[in-house]
Amino acid sequence: QVQLVESGGGSVQPGGSLTLSCTASGGDFGTYFMAWFRQSPGKEREGVAYISTPARRHYTYYSDSARGRFTISRDNAKNILFLQMNNLGPEDTAIYYCAARTGLGEWTIVSTYDFWGQGTQVTVSS
């Protein structure tokens, strides 16, 4: 069983950048498919980015809103998942969660993930 702890959230002005981290412990990190989700007040949790395992060559997927601005990556030696976010806008304000799963399937479906972090707040405003 893996435990996930996010960090790196905060407040930033529009156009700014942030890098989120998710540190994993208690499991074999390299065997987990990892993703970042976010949730704004009154909205459903939505997938932002996904990265597969080393065995599957770290294939990545992005939501339409994230593609071209966000980059997901992982350091399997240090058990850390990252989300580099650039050109942030107010619409990116949300709690960001990292998630892990051992199976496959549509990556945006929340219920397919086995483990979740507690979330980190990202606020974009001037």
The C-alpha angle 42, 24, 1, rounded to 5 degrees, equals: 90
The per-residue pLDDT for range 42-69, each reduced to its tens digit, is 999 999 999 999 888 889 999 999 999 9
CA distance 110 to 88: 24
Mean pLDDT in the chain?
96
Classify residue 15 as exposed, middle or buried by CB count within 10 Å of its CB (0-12, 13-18, 19+).
Answer: exposed
Helix/strand/coil for 62 = strand
Q: What is the pLDDT of residue 43?
A: 96
CA distance 123 to 53: 30
Q: What is the pLDDT of residue 23?
A: 98
pLDDT at 27 over 90: no
Q: What is the pLDDT of residue 10?
A: 97
Q: What is the mean predicted confidence (pLDDT) over 24-40?
A: 96
Structural contact between residues 82 and 6, judged by C-beta atoms closer than 8 angstroms: no
